[in-house]
Amino acid sequence: ARPTLWDTAIRRFATAVILGIGFGIKVDQDNDPFIQVAADASYALAHGGAPAGTPVDFFPFLNSLPSWLHDRSLKFAKDWKWAICNLHDKPFDAVLASEERSDSLMQDMLDQRQAQIEQGEQPELSHDDIKGAAGAVFAAGQDTTWATLTVFILNMLLHPGIQTKAQVLLDKVTGRNRLPDFNDRPQLPYIDYIVQETLRWCPVSPMGIPHKSLEDDTYSGYFIPAGSFVCANARAMTHDGRTFEEPDNFNPDRYATEEEGGLGEPFPVGQFGYGRRVCVGKHLAEASVWIVVATMLSTMNIEPVRDENGNVVVPKVELTNGLTSHPKPFQCRIVPRDERSANIIRSATT
């Protein structure tokens, strides 16, 4: 892909998966308008400040002050509210306007509502409830998958040796005659290591979703009164030097056993939340990332771009700070490894 197009391709994949499951909507083209809806919402979520970390979260009366007294985060939220509204409204309206509806989360909720109405019952879900639930799936699913894959691509640029090692292992399994699939997963632990290291190195929701303590509690000597904001600092946990050696380094081998030459470290936990509030899409997210990582490494080379003098441009590691966190824009080239790989890709897409 040209340096300006690879990001759109990744966004299209993430958007297509979530829109298909959440709304039964197919995304077939890079210029599909829903991709821009997703990109706009992603920008709003990534630049709106950390959750429960802005002044208006603690002093709600600030929202009632004249606009010229608003701080940067509140002004940004008002300026970009339209992007979040589009995320909820446009897919919902498209489904209602369609004559042919596919199985989806939203359709299940609409069917449940209609059945209750026909039975003379008060429907449990309003249209706004359905719109909000399906919109939350769209927001949470597409943005985090796109951000995780962007982190993966950045680290393949920064660590070409990891890319090469993965390609050698993939070639042994696929014989370079086909694309990898989920049946190959048990034979490809190194791909799992890359996925887990991507999730650990940059949790795309570094502070998680804020929760509220239901009762008074004490943690490590600190008193936490009921009703307090509680955030699970995923980034601090996944970069804890007591668990992960040189935690700022991207090193998939850390998960291999010591007998295999690794560090025997555990897979990270926390990036999907905890307990009853754990992300319900955890397994879908991991599977989506795994198949993209395996497919890209099997068939593509992820390469840096060069400047006008032919020098390699090394991307800077800069991350956004918001509800979701991802690398700031950078350029790269994603090209078939060779003609053999190109033919496999063509066969799979025709």
Q: Provide the pLDDT for residue 70.
A: 62
The rounded percent of the chain whose pLDDT value lies above 70 is 92
Range with lowest mean pLDDT among 40-54, 200-214, 261-275, 335-349: 40-54
Q: How far apart are CA 191 and CA 201, in angstroms?
A: 15
State pTM to two decimals. Answer: 0.87
Overall average pLDDT of the 279-305 stretch? 94
Q: Provide the pLDDT for residue 348.
A: 86
Range with lowest mean pLDDT among 8-17, 165-174, 248-257: 8-17
Q: Provide the pLDDT for residue 53.
A: 64
62 has pLDDT over 70: no
- The closest of 268, 208, 266 to 237, measured between CA atoms, is 268
Q: Does 85 belong to an annotated binding site?
A: no
Task: Phi first, then psi: give them for residue 336, nearest 5 degrees.
Answer: -55, 145
Residues in the chain: 350
Overall average pLDDT of the 231-245 stretch? 93
- The closest of 181, 180, 176, 162 to 339, measured between CA atoms, is 176
In single-letter form, the type of residue at position 6 comes to W
50 has pLDDT over 70: no
136 has pLDDT over 70: yes
C-alpha atoms less than 13 angstroms from C-alpha of 15 in its C-beta half-sphere? 26
For 6-349, CATH gives 1.10.630.10
At 207, the pLDDT band (50, 70, 90 cuts) reads: confident
DSSP 230: E
322 has pLDDT over 80: no
300 has pLDDT over 80: yes
More confidently predicted of 347 and 208: 347
- The closest of 254, 270, 258 to 193, measured between CA atoms, is 254
Range with lowest mean pLDDT among 31-40, 52-61, 192-201, 273-282: 52-61
3 has pLDDT over 50: no
Q: Show me where the domains of the chain are located.
A: 6-349
Listed ranges 32-46, 76-90, 114-128; the one with the highest mean pLDDT: 114-128
At 218, the pLDDT band (50, 70, 90 cuts) reads: very high
Q: Provide the pLDDT for residue 2.
A: 44
Cβ atoms of residues 328 and 318 within 8 Å = yes
In single-letter form, the type of residue at position 50 comes to A
Strands 222-224 and 229-230: what pairing?
unpaired
More confidently predicted of 255 and 349: 255
Cβ neighbours of 231 (radius 10 Å): 15
- The closest of 345, 32, 289, 36 to 150, measured between CA atoms, is 289
Cβ atoms of residues 148 and 5 within 8 Å = no
Q: How far apart are CA 55 and CA 75, in angstroms?
A: 12
Overall average pLDDT of the 52-74 stretch? 67
Cβ atoms of residues 62 and 56 within 8 Å = yes
Overall average pLDDT of the 9-34 stretch? 88
Cβ neighbours of 339 (radius 10 Å): 8
At 157, the pLDDT band (50, 70, 90 cuts) reads: very high
Cβ atoms of residues 272 and 141 within 8 Å = no
At 212, the pLDDT band (50, 70, 90 cuts) reads: confident
Task: Phi first, then psi: give them for residue 68, nearest 5 degrees.
Answer: -75, -5
175 has pLDDT over 70: yes
